Amino acid sequence: MDHPTRAAFDHPTRPASVGERPLAVAVSRGLRATGRVVADLARTMLPAMIAVTILDRSGWLARLAALAAPAMAWFGLPGGTALALLMGNVVGLYSGIAAAIPLGLDYKEWTVLGTMLAISHAHPVEAAIIARAGANTWVVLAARLAASAAAGWVLNRLL
The answer to whether residue 36 sits within a structural domain is no
The predicted structure's pLDDT at residue 79: 94
The answer to whether residue 25 sits within a structural domain is no
The answer to whether residue 103 sits within a structural domain is yes
The answer to whether residue 3 sits within a structural domain is no
The answer to whether residue 52 sits within a structural domain is yes
pTM of the predicted model as reported, rounded to 2 decimal places: 0.74
Residue 56 has pLDDT above 50, yes or no: yes
The predicted structure's pLDDT at residue 42: 83
The pLDDT of 47-56, averaged and rounded, is 85
Residue 108 has pLDDT above 90, yes or no: yes
The answer to whether residue 32 sits within a structural domain is no
Residue 151: which domain range? 45-158
Residue 139 has pLDDT above 90, yes or no: yes
Number of domains into which the chain is organized: 1
DSSP per-residue letters across 29-42:
HHHHHHHHHHHHHH
The answer to whether residue 70 sits within a structural domain is yes
The pLDDT of 106-129, averaged and rounded, is 95
The answer to whether residue 73 sits within a structural domain is yes
The predicted structure's pLDDT at residue 1: 45
Residue 143 has pLDDT above 50, yes or no: yes
